[in-house]
Structure 1
Amino acid sequence: MKDIVTRGTLLALVFTCFTLACKDSFLNVQPTGTLTSSQLNTKAGLEGLLISAYTELNGRGFSQTASSTNWMYGSIMGGEANKGSNAGDFNSITPFQRYEMLASSGELTARWQCMYEGVSRANSVLRQLKTADATVSEADKARIGAEAKFLRAHYYFELKRTFNMVPFIDESVDYAAGITEVTNSTDIWPKIEADFKAAYDVLPETQSAIGRANKWAAASYLGKTYLYQKKYAEAKTIFDAVIASGKNSAGVKYALYPTYWEVFSADNEKNTEIIFSTQNVANAGSSDAASGDLNLNWPYNTGPAGPVGCCGFFQPSFELANSFRTDAKGLPLLDGSYNVGANQLKTDQGLASSAAFTPDAGNLDPRLDHSVGRRGIPYLDWQVFPGQDWIRDQAFGGPYAPKKYIYTKAQEARIADVSNWTKGWTGINVILIRYADVLLMAAEAEIEVGSLEKAREYVNLVRTRAANPAGFVTIGGKPAANYVISTYSTPWTDKAVARTAVQFERKLELSGEGHRFFDLVRWGTAATVLNAYLTYEGAKLSNALGGAKFTPNKNEYMPLPQREIDLQGTTVLKQNPGY
């Protein structure tokens, strides 16, 4: 009986398998780890796709230099910081600070792939929206589509100002149909502008979830896009709208936060100044959720991100630190004399931490000590900065350490991610655009349309906040240095003088935030400013910058990655001039 049942059961199983195998559905097995179109057409599916597009703001899966934070492309290449560390570590960055980039650079390939990955994810959202099911309301369709267009415009904005002429691929391009050749022969500024405008027209003034782009984030980027195209009247109009009625995700009107240093505090990431930022979280089970693009940019040795002490990169430059010198009235030295003689900031370059040192006693802008870690000044709540003991190689990188986006000692247990080999992975959000940035861009636009006094008003707002004593670095309840800062009291009557003042204010206010190189290029001053920087800074460092030069009409943009040209062909992708 047992044998009969067994044979019968086997025959039944064979018959069932044979019957099913004869149907086409037997072959339709969904690959593991993939989602069907019907799963993605729901509201939950579309929101998931959209969130994946946001994640590429941090450059997930690519090099630390690839992301939208632009610490290499904007700040190191803008002369605000040296690569730092030592000559051997991550030396693929070195050609960028020397303006000797090659098309074969892996960093360039990572940047290209990171930004196009963001574009691809945004396009997936827009493509999938066309077949959204009944769970997606018309209002949700409009909002999701606007957020996707905002993100696509952001990634193309980064591609445009990095490489200049790049292919524009939207959701209509069907790779499944074999359409793969999109050339880089057309300027994409109009496409970027159109996407930001579409987002601005549709997005709500506030969002229910922190980190999502709202109407005013789109407006701020649209105004910035106008500036890059020298459409100053249009830029003024849109910046006026942000300044007049913009509100953040909490429904609070955008404003300068009262104390400068707290703008960047991990405990203050919903403050009134932040218009758009990356979103990160620590200790969520994997460091992938934390901010990893800045994980090298910490003091070396026993300071924050220890005990490994990684890694001593992104050291503020001598030239940047000197820029915070002020005159007897508390104004910056716009004539460049901050790099001359006694105006240069006193440093401990070449001096052991065990040797005596007295910090600079001259007049200084208080933003210096929120932007640059220097000997003898408190480094947040960790300790007084010890100098050489926290620097990996002073001769190569200089005496300074970065100070923005560093968690305090009190925050470390909550903010530092401990799931990786260094505590440099953090839950700190990185600001991509903030209200002070908007005010200073608005000041630029006002100058170009002839409203110099309005520009002075905006700059003075920024300087007044910086002068708030409640925000000064202190020792024993007293200012840690001789902070002397004031507003511009004399009316501006000369466009050239006003431009210089606004441009210098951007340098001071936004230092280390990835803007400087791109600003210099759009102002047309990159060759003059950066070659002067290389001459000055190169004389201070042992072998980091000697012989380096910025070549005009070439180094304003990066070479297109050779890997991409090899894949697509020279008839599809044309290399930038000079490479």
Structure 2
Amino acid sequence: MKKNILYIVAIAASTQIFTSCRKQLDVNPRERILETGYYKTPAEALTSLISVYDILGNQSSGYLTKVNILSAGCDDHFAGGDSPSDIGDLQTINNYTLTSTSGAASHLWSKGFTGVYRANVFLQKVANAGLDEATKTRYIAEVKALRAIYYFDLVKLFKNVPLLTEVVEPSAMYDVLQAPADQVYALVIKDLTEAIPNLPPTVPANTQGGRLTQGAAHAVLGKVYMWQQKWAEAAAEFALVNGPSPGASPYGYKLLTNYADLWNVKNKFNSESILEIVFNTTSDMGWGTVGSREGNVMGILVGPRNYVPLIAAQAPDYVSGWSFMPFTKDFFDQIHFDPRNKATVANLDSLEKAGIVTYKHANANTGYFIEKYAGRTSTKAAIGQLELNFGQDMYEIRLADTYLLEAESLLKSGAAVGAGTKAYTMFNAVRARVGLNPLPVTMDNLMRERRLELAAEGHRWFDLVRWGLAPTVLAGKGFKAGKNEIFPIPERELANSKIVQSKEWGGTK
């Protein structure tokens, strides 16, 4: 934690979160600016704010992201890659051989605490940046909500984490202690509830797309209550996001008519997007700067390896990729005859059997790849290392997610869920969007709907853990009950500090 929390400079590697800020953010991400001389002007405050947002889409230099780590660990995917050792940190979560020295655990810990550190520095320094009161109030609300998001992930993933609300001085860095999980959740709830009134209800997508709104903060708070099994509180938060009926959100959220349009790279910040992680094709990321710029590496990771079109007129324009995160046969069997299949699965198995394409049958190949993020020649960057600079945004939260969560929280709170009820209409609005007939609101139906609707979007592993099903569903991958529900605290955080390993991983905490 010494490096990760205390010495990460808050304004390093800022990203183009807001399209209106491109000029301000045209900086060399390897430059470092001393914190002591910063936060003196409104422009510096904005750049610092953007640096806190930057961690939402953080990617490691080893191609690790929150989404691909959790996807590799769930039952919908294999880690894949060229061989069983390709990006070994993904392989260890795929087969549950990860340890406290795993890069996957280190990335998730570092990602979370980098965000917390940057947020704390901002909150400590922003008063002296010369902002008008309204702007300062909004910035503080955004940063508190972001700190809540980072801590929410940390407490879900590691359970036993330090609770830092101020910048820790170097002289005290070895004495930081972990806090009980309920105290972390209390801070998350406090940050969100304090932030919500000072966040804007909506933002203009063309100039501020990606910034936090009241709806996004309510959605996060609803998820926090779900993890605490506070069903009525969760339902109340989702009701504020979703509105009284489908399409009637006070924030203007609506399901897109065409499911596939969610992954049109030109359809950023659409009406279904609640919290979106922004990427672009112009940051010029190269092999030496992987993870430090704003191209989405998922485009190259999930594409079929050695992809060759044989009949160009019939072959999709996929870019030859690295074959990570192929869907399992079990998942494909579940979605095969569902209307969301084509927008979700790149079916190389069928294309190859039809003689339209060839590709390498790499590690754990099933023939079923992720269509949602697949890099294409029509969407690749015009400059830089083309493989690394795809501009496909990713959803942290979208409306179908909150519709399904409201239905689930109502069911678990004991509310009525029959035809005509709020739970029924929200659940079946998700199905109706893709032309499916209504079903009753049961846990089995909700779980299947979340699996198919939100496939490859980073929700499945969390859902299985939250439902208590991970030990059963993931047993074949090596998941151990009472252990793998959380990640081990990275070994480098334990050395010369008072942080101790969780008891699930052989420690005493």
Q: Same fold (TM over 0.5)?
A: yes
Rounded Cα–Cα distance in structure 2 between residues aligned with 1:566 and 1:294: 37
Paired residue for 2:417? 452
Deviation readout 1:513-563 (Å, 9 max, x if unpaired): 1111111111111111222xx2xxxxxxxxxxxxx4221111111111111
What's the CA shift for 1:574? 3.2
Report the secondary structure of 1:427's partner residue: coil
Could you tell me whether the CA contact under 8 Å between 2:174 and 2:496 is conserved in 1? Answer: no
How many matched pairs? 451
Given the alignment, which residue of 340, 345, 352 partners 1:372?
345
What's the CA shift for 1:397? 2.6
Does residue 559 (structure 1) correspond to residue 482 (structure 2)? The answer is no
What's the CA shift for 1:446? 0.9
Given the alignment, which residue of 163, 183, 189 partners 2:185?
189
Does residue 575 (structure 1) correspond to residue 502 (structure 2)? The answer is yes
Paired residue for 1:157? 152
Could you tell me whether the CA contact under 8 Å between 1:98 and 1:549 is conserved in 2? Answer: yes
Write the letter of the residue equivalent to 1:562: E
Deviation readout 1:67-126 (Å, 9 max, x if unpaired): 34x2222x2212111111222322332221112211111222122112211111111111
Deviation readout 1:401-460 (Å, 9 max, x if unpaired): 111122554x32xx436412x524311111111000000110111101223133222121
Given the alignment, which residue of 439, 452, 466 partners 2:434?
466
Does residue 57 (structure 1) correspond to residue 60 (structure 2)? The answer is no
Could you tell me whether the CA contact under 8 Å between 2:318 and 2:374 is conserved in 1? Answer: no
Write the letter of the residue equivalent to 1:51: I
Could you tell me whether the CA contact under 8 Å between 1:246 and 1:254 is conserved in 2? Answer: no
Deviation readout 1:302-345 (Å, 9 max, x if unpaired): 368976x33111101111111125xxxxxxxxxxxxxxxxxxxx
Report the secondary structure of 2:335's partner residue: coil
Quickly say closer, same or farther: Cα 1:430–1:165, change in 2 above 3 A. Answer: same
What's the CA shift for 1:131? 2.8
Could you tell me whether the CA contact under 8 Å between 1:391 and 1:399 is conserved in 2? Answer: no
Write the letter of the residue equivalent to 1:109: S
Query: Which region of structure 1 is more displaced relative to structure 2, 156-165 or 278-287?
Result: 278-287
Given the alignment, which residue of 479, 491, 496 partners 1:550?
479
Does residue 433 (structure 1) correspond to residue 397 (structure 2)? The answer is yes
Could you tell me whether the CA contact under 8 Å between 1:166 and 1:184 is conserved in 2? Answer: yes
Give me the TM-score of the superposition, normalised by structure 1: 0.73
Paired residue for 2:13? none
Report the secondary structure of 2:257's partner residue: coil
What's the CA shift for 1:464? 0.7
Could you tell me whether the CA contact under 8 Å between 1:285 and 1:419 is conserved in 2? Answer: yes
Paired residue for 2:368? 400
Quickly say closer, same or farther: Cα 1:205–1:199, change in 2 above 3 A. Answer: same
Quickly say closer, same or farther: Cα 1:385–1:290, change in 2 above 3 A. Answer: farther
Rounded Cα–Cα distance in structure 2 between residues aligned with 1:417 and 1:280: 15
Write the letter of the residue equivalent to 1:184: Q
Given the alignment, which residue of 60, 66, 71 partners 2:68?
71
Could you tell me whether the CA contact under 8 Å between 1:80 and 1:317 is conserved in 2? Answer: yes
Does residue 516 (structure 1) correspond to residue 460 (structure 2)? The answer is yes
Paired residue for 1:302? 307
Could you tell me whether the CA contact under 8 Å between 2:202 and 2:251 is conserved in 1? Answer: no
Deviation readout 1:4-47 (Å, 9 max, x if unpaired): xxxxxxxxxxxxxxxxxxxxxxxxxxxx9524646413211111
What's the CA shift for 1:194? 1.4
Give me the TM-score of the superposition, normalised by structure 2: 0.82
Could you tell me whether the CA contact under 8 Å between 1:217 and 1:276 is conserved in 2? Answer: yes
What's the CA shift for 1:174? 3.3
Paired residue for 1:231? 230
Quickly say closer, same or farther: Cα 1:47–1:523, change in 2 above 3 A. Answer: same
Write the letter of the residue equivalent to 1:88: S
Rounded Cα–Cα distance in structure 2 between residues aligned with 1:310 and 1:238: 40
Paired residue for 1:486? 437
Quickly say closer, same or farther: Cα 1:179–1:159, change in 2 above 3 A. Answer: same
Alignment RMSD: 2.7
Quickly say closer, same or farther: Cα 1:98–1:169, change in 2 above 3 A. Answer: same
Report the secondary structure of 1:40's partner residue: coil
Could you tell me whether the CA contact under 8 Å between 1:440 and 1:502 is conserved in 2? Answer: yes
Rounded Cα–Cα distance in structure 2 between residues aligned with 1:223 and 1:91: 35
Q: Structure 1: any 5+ residue segments left out of the alignment?
A: 1-31, 326-363, 468-484, 493-497, 535-547
Report the secondary structure of 1:312's partner residue: coil
Rounded Cα–Cα distance in structure 2 between residues aligned with 1:460 and 1:118: 37
Aligned positions of 1:104-115 closer than 5 A: 104-115=101-112
Rounded Cα–Cα distance in structure 2 between residues aligned with 1:286 and 1:62: 11
Report the secondary structure of 2:504's partner residue: coil
What's the CA shift for 1:50? 0.8
Aligned positions of 1:258-297 closer than 5 A: 258-286=257-285, 288-292=293-297, 295-297=300-302
